[in-house]
Amino acid sequence: MSRLRTEEEKAAILNECLRLEKEGGDILGYLWSQDYVTPRATWCNYQREWLGRKPYQYTDGKPKKKGEKKMGKPVNTKEDRQRRLDELIERVNKGMGIRAALADMGYSGKSAGQQYRQLRNFAKENDPIAYAALPESIGGDIVPVTSLADAMQNCQDAADEFFGKCEEMGLKTEVPEEPKICQPVVYEDMIVREVEGLFGRYRRSDIGGKVYIDFEPFDTMDVMSFTVEQWRSFREEQVKAAAILGVEL
């Protein structure tokens, strides 16, 4: 079982991890030998808290095969994608079409379409203002957007126009009730099993027919791991305890 360690002990463990990382060794195996029950989460915490790395700079801690590159400069990082998105929007704001803007950035043919899809998906997750301005396809019309309010208004205008036409045609426009989420999100054929919030990371694990949710707070090296039913009981207990203490959650 993982135990609380002194700063000196943590520093010694980190130094050994860095040595293993440089040599392509098994960091996760080493942390396991040091009684860390979640070595992957521990290594991520060390990289974030002690080395100041961003998530896209993390190494996985697994041993490297002979001839495999140990650690290199990350490619296609979030900063790289944001820079390219900004360059695209800058050209668009100057009057260029999407295809012409991408060509000016050095992308043409199939690479232009691929790059546009990547940047638009990135904008959808990270830059709603830019996303609202970008058409669905590389040859679509550009919507001028200068603020988030403009983006929201454009979406509302499009929705009003759509529902108005549906009513004119006698079509029902009731919005169906959103389905209940009962499985992890699947994004581009890949299952999302970990998300990051304000206080830490949440990770789903399916073990022995049970669903576990692991909570990894940012400010400690420990991980809280309960089944779904245990988390529900924990939440009920929190509400009850807070009420006894005179606080309503």
pLDDT digits (tens, 9 = 90+) for 7-44: 888 888 999 999 998 888 899 889 888 888 778 888 88
User: Which of 168-177, 192-201, 227-236 has the highest average model confidence (pLDDT)?
Assistant: 227-236
Instruction: Give the start-to-end residue ranges of the domains of the chain.
Output: 7-57, 78-168, 186-244
Q: Is residue 2 pLDDT above 60, yes or no?
A: no
224 in Cβ contact with 214 (< 8 Å): yes
Find residue 214's DSSP bridge partners.
203, 225
Q: What is the pLDDT of residue 3?
A: 65
Whole-number Å distance between alpha carbons of 184 and 213: 12
Label residue 151 by pLDDT band (50, 70, 90).
low
Question: Mean pLDDT over residues 188-203, rounded?
Answer: 85
Whole-number Å distance between alpha carbons of 28 and 148: 43
Q: 152 to each of 45, 123, 128, 130, 134, how far by Cα in Å?
A: 37, 15, 9, 12, 14
pLDDT digits (tens, 9 = 90+) for 106-132: 777 777 788 888 888 888 888 887 787
Mean pLDDT of the chain: 77
For 140, phi then psi, to 5°, come to -80, 175
More confident residue, 115 or 65: 115
Q: Is residue 244 pLDDT above 80, yes or no?
A: yes
Percent residues over pLDDT 70 in the chain = 76
Whole-number Å distance between alpha carbons of 183 and 74: 31
Label residue 73 by pLDDT band (50, 70, 90).
very low
Where does 186-244 sit in CATH, by number?
2.30.31
Whole-number Å distance between alpha carbons of 195 and 78: 17
Q: Where is average pLDDT lowest: 21-35, 71-85, 196-210?
A: 71-85
Whole-number Å distance between alpha carbons of 203 and 238: 21
Question: Mean pLDDT over residues 59-85, rounded?
Answer: 69
